[in-house]
Amino acid sequence: MELLEKRLNIESITVMVQKEVAQRMQAKPGSPDYGALSLAVEFYSEAHINMVVKPTCFIPRPKVDSAVITMKIRDEKPVNVGDEGLLFRIIKSAFGQRRKTLVNSIYNQCGFDMSKEELADILNGIGFDERIRGEALSLEDFARLTEAITDKINNK
C-alpha cells in the first residue's frame, strides 16, 4: 500500500503474497474477498494474479498457497473525487464493521456532523437503499457517495 499511495514513478509492482491476500487485492463487489484493500488496489492500479505458487516450492514449506500478483499503476485515477482522503475514510468505515449497514458504519466511524437519517437520505439520493452494505458498492459508487457527503457537509 505504501508503494501505491506514494505514487512513485513506477509502471508496475509485482509481489508474491499469500494467495488469499492476492484474491482480496483483485476481488470485485459482492464477493466475500471484496473489501477496503480491493478498492485501494483498484484505485491505484489494475491488478492481475500471474500464478499460484504451491507450498512445495519453499523450504520450509508454508501451510498456505502463495500467488504472484502484478499491479499495473494507473496513469489516471479511475474516479474523480475532490477529497481522496475522505473517499478512503468512507471506504474503511464501510468495511470496518462488515455486518452493519453502510449508514450505521459511516455514522459510527466517520464522525460526520449529520444524523443517520441524513446519511440514509444521501444514499437514497444516489440510488441506494439505506440497508445496503459496503460490499455491494463499486469504487464508482463510493466516489459518488463521497461527493454527495461532501456536498451535504459544505451546504450545512
- At 12 the pLDDT is 95
Say how far apart CA 60 and CA 94 lie, in whole Å.
Answer: 38
**What does the pLDDT look like over 38-60, one tens digit per residue?**
999 999 999 999 999 999 999 99
Segments of the chain assigned E as strands? 12-18, 45-53, 66-73
62 and 92 belong to one structural domain: no
Cell matching residue 30: 459482492
53 and 9 belong to one structural domain: yes
The enclosing H or E element of 139 equals helix 139-154
Say how far apart CA 51 and CA 74 lie, in whole Å.
Answer: 22
3-state secondary structure of 45: strand
- CATH number of the structural domain spanning residue 103: 1.10.8.100
94 and 150 belong to one structural domain: yes
Is residue 79 one of the residues assigned to a domain? Answer: no
Is residue 78 one of the residues assigned to a domain? Answer: no
pTM of the model: 0.90
- At 50 the pLDDT is 97
109 and 68 belong to one structural domain: no
Range of the domain at 40: 2-73
41 and 101 belong to one structural domain: no
57 and 116 belong to one structural domain: no
Q: Are 16 and 70 in contact (CB under 8 A)?
A: no
- CATH number of the structural domain spanning residue 68: 3.40.50.150
Mean pLDDT of 127-134: 92
Is residue 36 one of the residues assigned to a domain? Answer: yes
13 and 56 belong to one structural domain: yes
67 and 89 belong to one structural domain: no
**What does the pLDDT look like over 87-130, one tens digit per residue?**
999 999 999 887 889 999 998 888 888 899 999 999 999 999 98
Handedness of CA 131, 133, 136, 141 (dihedral sign): positive
Work out how many domains the chain is built from and give that number: 2
